[in-house]
Amino acid sequence: MSEAMQVNQAAGLHNLFSTARTQTQQDELDAFHQAASLRPVVPRARTTRTIAVAGGKGGVGKTTVAVNLAMAMAMAGRDVMLLDADMGVANVDVQLGLNPSRHIGHLLEGKCTLQDLIIPAQHGLKVIPGGSGIRRLAKMVNGEHAAVIRAFDDLIQPPDVLVVDSAAGVADNVAMFAAASDDVVIVVCDELASLTDAYALIKILAHDFGVRRFHIVANMVRQASDAKKLYEKLARVCGRFLDVALDYMGMVPHDEWLRQAIRRQGAVVDLWPSSRAAMGFKQLAGAVDTWGKPAYPDLGRIAFFSGQSAPAAGW
């Protein structure tokens, strides 16, 4: 029986994504890995933890989780930066009521530095906008993703935490930002397509990029027992077919206050800190503190802040 059929049978999932690439895509990916090995490393004290928020399927709440996780950590006193890596259709700035005049496209064209792109949001959160409605950004090539990742080495003051809001899908560009991070958070909701897409993304990150550890967030669930069931379903399939470790990071309930917050263009953790959703996000932020030190970035792989040499202090 094929792997896809076995996965279907094991978890009641459907439609496993194919991970086949065209020759051009494979060439670009090889160039990306080669660029990583050519990168001169200039060590300095490593202070930043990088957390990618991904999920595969669109609409599962990646941006919502990234924004509120970042804001919750900023409210707890961390120096936090949020990169909107959903290039071309970015909407972190919309969710936070920001009005950026420049975006990643300007960085790639050499018209500004990464430092120039930083926009201050509430509680000292710093946002790097990804640019919206810009076709060229949605079609960035792999070398450009590597250039964005490397630009973080030149920040004057690296933050304590960088949260990366990933695009939907399982394309190499999504995987590259996740693979360049210390930790990968996978957001799932109670839909079969969400689980199959999460599995496909985890598989690509494990096989092609060597990522082994994933933190799972169940979003838009009714109660903790539903969240745990969702996690166990994904963990069972991954445990059977992939050499990866999953841990349960926490859950965010379905909460109308979240939609209200988006209408008000703010983060629910800031606007309604005692709502059920806000409590969930604060628990997610607390979970990060239990993760221990990030591993040293593998020198053969492009990583955010790879110019920093020692693991972050205080984690």
Ligand X SMILES: Nc1ncnc2c1ncn2[C@@H]1O[C@H](COP(=O)(O)OP(=O)(O)OP(=O)(O)O)[C@@H](O)[C@H]1O
Asked whether position 201 contacts ligand X by CB under 6 A, the answer is no
293 is in an annotated binding site: no
Query: Phi and psi of 31, rounded to 5°?
Result: -65, -40
Residue 100 C-beta: closest distance to ligand X, Å: 17
Structure letter (DSSP) for residue 152: G
86 belongs to the binding site for ligand X (CB under 6 A): yes
Rounded Cα distance between 185 and 188, Å, is 10
Q: Binding pattern to ligand X, positions 272-291, x when CB under 6 A?
A: -----x--------------
**Site for ligand X contains 60 (CB under 6 A):** yes
Q: Is 62 annotated as a binding residue?
A: yes
Q: In what order do the strands lie in the sheet with 80-84?
A: 119-120, 126-128, 80-84, 161-165, 49-54, 183-188, 213-221, 245-253
Phi, psi of 308 (to 5 degrees): -85, 145
Q: Smallest gap, in angstroms, from Cβ of residue 80 to ligand X?
A: 18
Interaction between residue 252 and ligand X (CB under 6 A):
yes
What residues numbered 90-119 form the site for ligand X, per CB under 6 A? none
Strands annotated E in the chain: 49-54, 80-84, 119-120, 126-128, 161-165, 183-188, 213-221, 245-253
CB of 163 to ligand X, least distance (A): 13
Q: Which of 47, 48, 63, 173 binds ligand X (CB under 6 A)?
A: 63
CA-closest candidate to residue 96, choices 277, 275, 262, 284? 262
Q: Has 127 been labeled as part of a binding site?
A: no
In the chain, the N- to C-terminal Cα span, in Å, equals: 44
Nearest-approach distance from CB 167 to ligand X, in angstroms? 7
Q: Tell whether residue 163 is a contact of ligand X (CB under 6 A).
A: no
Residue 110 assigned ligand-binding role? no
168 lines the binding site for ligand X (CB under 6 A)? yes
N residues, the chain: 315
Binding residue for ligand X, selected from 4, 6, 33, 58, defined by CB under 6 A: 58
Report whether 250 belongs to an annotated binding site: no
| Residue 70 DSSP symbol | H
Interaction between residue 264 and ligand X (CB under 6 A): no
Q: Which amino acid is at 115?
A: Q
- Toward ligand X, which CB reaches closer, 162 or 220? 220
The reply, when asked if residue 58 is annotated as ligand binding, is yes
Chain centroid to Cα 269, Å, comes to 19
Which positions make up the binding site for ATP?
57-64
Which residues lie near ligand X (CB under 6 A)?
Answer: 55, 58-64, 86, 168, 219-220, 252, 254-255, 258-259, 262, 277
